[in-house]
């Protein structure tokens, strides 16, 4: 087995048994990056030297018997997490050559647990997108391709496209990502890997470039449900520096992966059967439910009546919060500054922001600014937050009847990079199954469950009660066991 074949769980065992060293693991992944990143463009910044240094330190610790939970595991870090001393871009030109003087809480905890950082992973600019085609550093290519059209480059999904592609192509053993409307789950599904957005408040947002504060959550992507559980254990936890951080103990998520699902009630929301849902997706969904039934779970039809309003609700709330969160990118204290000889302060702002932000970010800032502007707050933002409360209530009522909800993760498999996108709304529809969990603050996991007719991965989604990631992991792992998804992408280290 070569260094890039291990899952995290397998890697930790191999490290502990001295079958491989941290240095060898890191070297293998750095070699993979050197070979494949020019094509995939999953990494914006590769930190080879510091990764090797960290790997050596990890081996030294292990030799002394001092290894921590993730010691020696090479990970990629989505370039939305501020990493101290390592350039952070948020996939945008506007941060210029910003080198953070601080480390995000989530990445600091991974470091504390001994993980090795390979580099910063590409993403849609400011996490706004579902295709990783809006990055200022170029698009990311999905390591999977269609059987009948292998030259056609496909998107990995977004916004955490770099994270998902890197893990799928085995040039990272796992990666951090963030999810605001589906940005962990949708790319995980498009790349045939697992990913979880935990409950809002489970992971700290401190040091993560903010997009939409009431929706953003950090989470892991990895090649197995168990790996996600291992990573989430290190990433999660109360942070007094984040006023929305939940003051709750972090359970042993990995242990939950082996829990039986016998007797669990699995909800199937009627409203997720969209008109025109691709038959393959529907078939996989039914297959997933059958697997769970076979494992002893009870399948319960439920209704989440306000589902169809979730996407428009999201596209009021998220841009509104983003328009405010992105006001700080003004060319004054860090990042890009664009001026002319005769610039005044206002001109500095306008030129810097026009030059620094891409088209999708500008669109969302404009929408957000508009819906908050005088006279429109009640009709848009306030209205959307009320609808959001109704969406949350739908789930609260469902939890009286079921313990977890299973739906498709995406309405399609990965689509081509050059598919024309004249209408932003079409792109937004990619998140139709995932946004509800963000709006309601619930944990949501994507697990690869099958392949479409073109051999592209399709995923299922498991949604759970607030702070009940354990049940989500149990159901996800059960699907994973039954699915026996062993297909591999065409591009792989």
Indicate which residues carry an active-site annotation. 78, 159, 183
Distance separating alpha carbons of residues 135 and 120, to the nearest angstrom = 13
Task: Tell which positions 26-65 bind other proteins, by CB under 8 A.
Answer: none
From residue 25, alpha-carbon distances to 3, 72, 156, 263, 267 in Å are: 5, 8, 25, 41, 41
For residue 95, state whether it binds other proteins (rule: CB under 8 A). Answer: yes
For residue 251, state whether it binds other proteins (rule: CB under 8 A). Answer: no
Q: How far apart are the first and last CA of the chain?
A: 12
Angle at 407 between CA 186 and CA 482, to 5 degrees: 95
For residue 473, state whether it binds other proteins (rule: CB under 8 A). Answer: no
Of residues 156, 198, 306, 477, which one binds other proteins by CB under 8 A?
Answer: 306
Of residues 200, 285, 415, 433, which one binds other proteins by CB under 8 A?
Answer: 200
Q: How near is the Cβ of 306 to other proteins at its closest, in Å?
A: 7
Of residues 91, 119, 195, 207, which one binds other proteins by CB under 8 A?
Answer: 207
For residue 96, state whether it binds other proteins (rule: CB under 8 A). Answer: yes
For residue 87, state whether it binds other proteins (rule: CB under 8 A). Answer: no
Of residues 98, 190, 272, 285, which one binds other proteins by CB under 8 A?
Answer: 98
Binding piece for other proteins, criterion CB under 8 A, among 4-12, 134-142, 254-262, 389-397: 389-397
Q: How near is the Cβ of 298 to other proteins at its closest, in Å?
A: 24
Looking at the DSSP bridge assignments, the partners of residue 154 are 416
Distance separating alpha carbons of residues 166 and 146, to the nearest angstrom = 18
From residue 117, alpha-carbon distances to 22, 95, 173, 234 in Å are: 12, 21, 10, 14
Of residues 52, 68, 99, 250, which one binds other proteins by CB under 8 A?
Answer: 99
For residue 324, state whether it binds other proteins (rule: CB under 8 A). Answer: yes
For residue 102, state whether it binds other proteins (rule: CB under 8 A). Answer: yes
For residue 388, state whether it binds other proteins (rule: CB under 8 A). Answer: yes
HEC letters along 48-92: HHHHHHHHHHHHHHHHCCCCCCCCCCEEEEECCECECCECCCCCC
Task: Tell which positions 66-85 bind other proteins, by CB under 8 A.
Answer: 81-82
Residue (of 96, 150, 10) closest to 454 by Cα position: 150
Task: Tell which positions 340-379 bind other proteins, by CB under 8 A.
Answer: 343-351, 353-354, 357, 362-363, 365-367, 369-374, 376-377, 379
Task: Tell which positions 210-239 bind other proteins, by CB under 8 A.
Answer: 210, 212-215
Contact 408, 433 (CB under 8 A): yes
**217-222 vs 174-179, strand pairing mode:** antiparallel
Task: Tell which positions 156-175 bind other proteins, by CB under 8 A.
Answer: none
263 burial type by CB count under 10 A (0-12 exposed, 13-18 middle, 19+ buried): exposed
Binding piece for other proteins, criterion CB under 8 A, among 61-69, 151-159, 336-344, 477-485: 336-344
Q: How many CB atoms lie within 10 A of CB 301?
A: 10
Query: What is the H or E stretch that residue 300 is in?
Result: strand 298-302
Q: How near is the Cβ of 331 to other proteins at its closest, in Å?
A: 6
Identity of the residue, 336 or 447, whose beta carbon is nearer to other proteins in the bound complex: 336
């Amino acid at each position: 087995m070569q260094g890039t074949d291990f899952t995290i769980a397998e890697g930790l065992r191999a490290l502990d048994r001295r079958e491989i060293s941290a240095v060898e693991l890191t070297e293998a992944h750095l070699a993979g990056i050197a070979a494949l990143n020019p094509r995939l463009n999953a990494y914006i910044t590769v930190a080879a030297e510091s990764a090797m240094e960290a790997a050596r330190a990890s081996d030294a610790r292990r030799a002394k018997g001092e290894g921590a939970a993730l010691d020696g595991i090479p990970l990629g870090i989505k370039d939305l997490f501020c990493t101290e001393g390592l350039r952070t871009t948020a996939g945008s030109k506007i941060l210029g050559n910003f080198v953070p003087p601080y480390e995000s809480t989530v990445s600091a905890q991974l470091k504390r647990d001994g993980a090795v950082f390979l580099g910063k992973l590409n993403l849609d600019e400011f996490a706004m997108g579902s295709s990783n085609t809006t990055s200022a550093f170029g698009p990311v290519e999905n390591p999977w391709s269609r059987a009948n059209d292998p030259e056609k480059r496909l998107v990995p999904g977004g916004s955490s496209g770099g994270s998902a592609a890197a893990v799928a192509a085995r040039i990272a053993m796992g990666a951090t990502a963030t999810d605001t409307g589906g940005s962990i789950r949708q790319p995980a599904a498009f790349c045939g890997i697992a990913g979880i957005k935990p409950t809002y408040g489970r992971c700290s947002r401190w040091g993560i470039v903010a997009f939409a504060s009431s929706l953003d959550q950090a989470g892991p992507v990895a090649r197995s449900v168990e790996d996600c559980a291992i990573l989430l254990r290190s990433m999660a936890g109360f942070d007094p520096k984040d006023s929305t951080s939940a003051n709750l103990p972090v359970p042993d998520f990995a242990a939950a992966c082996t829990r039986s699902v016998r007797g669990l009630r699995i909800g199937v929301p009627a409203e997720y059967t969209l008109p025109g849902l691709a038959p393959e997706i529907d078939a996989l969904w039914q297959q997933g439910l059958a697997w769970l039934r076979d494992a002893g779970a009870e399948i319960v039809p439920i209704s989440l009546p306000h589902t169809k309003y979730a996407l428009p609700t999201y596209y009021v709330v998220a841009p509104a919060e983003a328009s405010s969160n992105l006001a700080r990118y003004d060319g004054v204290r860090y990042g890009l500054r664009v001026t002319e000889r005769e610039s005044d302060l206002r001109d500095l702002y306008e030129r810097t922001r026009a030059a620094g932000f891409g088209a999708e970010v500008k669109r969302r800032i404009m929408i957000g600014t508009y819906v908050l502007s005088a006279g429109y707050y009640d009709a848009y933002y306030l209205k959307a937050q009320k609808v959001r409360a109704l969406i949350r209530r739908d789930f609260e009522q469902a939890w009286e009847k079921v313990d977890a909800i299973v739906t498709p993760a995406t309405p399609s498999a990965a689509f081509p990079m050059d598919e024309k996108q004249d209408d932003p709304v079409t792109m937004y529809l990619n998140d139709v199954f995932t946004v509800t969990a963000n709006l309601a603050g619930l944990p949501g996991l994507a697990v690869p469950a099958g392949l479409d007719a073109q051999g592209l991965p399709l995923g299922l989604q498991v949604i759970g009660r607030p702070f009940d990631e354990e049940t989500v992991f149990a159901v996800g792992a059960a699907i994973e066991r039954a699915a026996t998804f062993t297909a591999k992408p065409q591009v792989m280290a």
